[in-house]
Amino acid sequence: MELILALGIGVFTGSGVWLLLRPRTFQVIIGLSLLSYAVNLFIFAMGRLRVDAAPVLGQGGTGDPARFADPVPQALVLTAIVIGFATTALFLVVLLAARGLTGTDHVDGREREP
Shortest Å, Cβ 11 to another protein:
16
SS3 content of the chain, % helix, strand, coil (to 5): 65, 0, 30
Contact segment (CB under 8 A) with another protein among 33-41, 52-60, 61-69 equals 33-41
CA distances from 109 to 18, 21, 33, 77, 105 (A): 20, 15, 21, 34, 7
CA distances from 50 to 7, 10, 11, 84 (A): 18, 20, 22, 25
Shortest Å, Cβ 114 to another protein:
21
Helical H segments across 47-109, by residue range = 71-102
Q: Can you tell me which of 5, 15, 20, 50 binds another protein, judged by CB under 8 A?
A: 20
For residues 54 and 97, which CB has a smaller minimum distance to another protein in the complex?
97
C-alpha 40 chain-centroid distance: 5
Residues 51-110 that bind another protein (CB under 8 A): 72-73, 76, 79-80, 83-84, 86-88, 90-91, 94-95, 97-98, 101-102, 107-109
Give the binding site for another protein (CB under 8 A). 20, 25, 28, 32, 35-36, 39, 42-43, 45-47, 72-73, 76, 79-80, 83-84, 86-88, 90-91, 94-95, 97-98, 101-102, 107-109
